[in-house]
Amino acid sequence: MNNISGIIPKCLNNWTTLAQNGHSIPSIDYSDIIPLSGDFYYLPNVDEEYLTWKGVRSKYKSILGLVKSIDLSCNKLSGEIPTEITYLVGLVSLNLSRNRLTGQIPSRIGNLQELDSLDLSRNQINGRIPISITRINRIGYLDLSENNLSGKIPIATQLQTFDYAYGGNPMLCGEPLPRSCPEEKNGPGQSVLVNKDDKDGLITQGFYISMGLGFAVGFWGVCGTLLLNRSCKYTYFKSLTFLNDWQYVKAEIIRQRILNK
């Protein structure tokens, strides 16, 4: 909740504690040094913080050391989410919500296997939800709402339970949303139109239209000529008759040669 602007730095992977699993103690302990009568006394203390976790503001003390979290929410950050953030494999919570982030969700977001909470809501993120996100089995809170995401939601048990997480993305489809994807509407065994977001898609609606027009022009170009032009019709059927007789004679010659052997 500041006014931090600009892009997220790409040097995030330099945070070595977040870039490795484990190696943390539950609490963050330290001592206060109290001078008294010429001596120094050490009073043990345990650090504590209030953190927003899974959408709820809570106080953490005895397990604060295990909370490996990045929270840059409610700022004015812009640009894309840097790919380097996917190197922080020890990250447990990532909150970049309520910014002005653009681009796509990093394709290797699934590397964050320890992630329990992911909030990218209320940005301008576009593109598809990466399929690698299905590898995050421990995720307990997810919010991707109010973005420009498109395509089908990847199929994974944990992703289909977050029905609140995808609102405000009119181009998203598939469970748990009520909007069915094109392939679901066509049904099994039928042709599927490639999504507009697939840059290398060749089979589009225009492809089928041009194919139908080409067939109609070619079919009636031949059949219409035969029906309307009598000389062409006689020549065509005469050619078919000659070809049929030629094939019959050829087959008989081959058969006789086989019998003579």
What pLDDT is attached to residue 32? 77
pLDDT, one tens digit per residue, over 79-125 is 999 999 999 999 989 999 999 999 999 999 999 998 989 999 999 99
Which stretches of the chain are assigned E, i.e. beta strand?
5-6, 29-36, 39-46, 49-53, 56-60, 69-71, 76-80, 93-95, 100-102, 117-119, 126-127, 141-143, 148-152, 171-173
Pairwise pLDDT comparison (33 vs 102), residue with the higher score: 102
Q: What is the mean pLDDT of residues 144-154?
A: 95
Band (pLDDT 50/70/90 cuts) for residue 204 is low
Of 59-63, 90-94, 160-164, 197-201, give the range with the top mean pLDDT. Answer: 90-94
In this model, does residue 134 exceed pLDDT 70?
A: yes
Mean pLDDT of the chain: 81
pTM, two decimal places: 0.63
Of 38-52, 91-105, 187-201, 229-243, where does the model show the most confidence? 91-105
Give the domains, in start order, of the chain with CATH numbers: 5-24+68-189 (3.80.10.10), 208-260 (no CATH)
- How far apart are the C-alpha atoms of 235 and 10, rounded to whole Å? 75
